[in-house]
Amino acid sequence: MPFWLEARGSEFSWVHLISAMEANINLVYCISVAALLWTLSRNDFNKALQPAVLGLLVLSTYRPIVLEILMHVFHLGDWFALAFKAGYSVFLGGVALGLCTALTGEVSTNGKVH
């Protein structure tokens, strides 16, 4: 909502565009984390992949800290932060999508779990 409420009566500002893009990136990020948690809760989940999924979930909790360190050390701006968040969210989403597709593909091939 900040994009709509703040930009309605004012001139164009990059702050509003960055805010809107960041909201969409955060939505993809939250859906990806939820998908990873969903794969862990399934009974037919391959236990050999559990450490990798748990590692991704742990790394996802440290995303803000890593981003702040990179921005502070290298004096980077808002656009880098947006690109970093987008890259990490797309990576996490791709892994989550692959796992979810593999799990649902195994179930739907014969109607039961392999």
Q: Cα angle at 29 between 27 and 33, to 5 degrees?
A: 120
State how far the Cα of 113 lies from the Cα of 42, in Å rounded to an integer.
Answer: 11
Give the confidence band of 104 by pLDDT, cuts at 50, 70, 90: confident
- How far apart, in whole angstroms, are the C-alpha atoms of residue 11 and residue 27? 26
45-85 confidence digits (pLDDT tens): 888 888 989 999 998 899 899 899 989 999 988 899 999 99
Closest CA to 64 of 55, 74, 72: 72
Instruction: Answer whether 26's CB lies under 8 Å from 90's CB.
Output: no
Nearest residue to 86 via CA among 37, 14, 35, 20: 20
Mean pLDDT of 89-109: 82
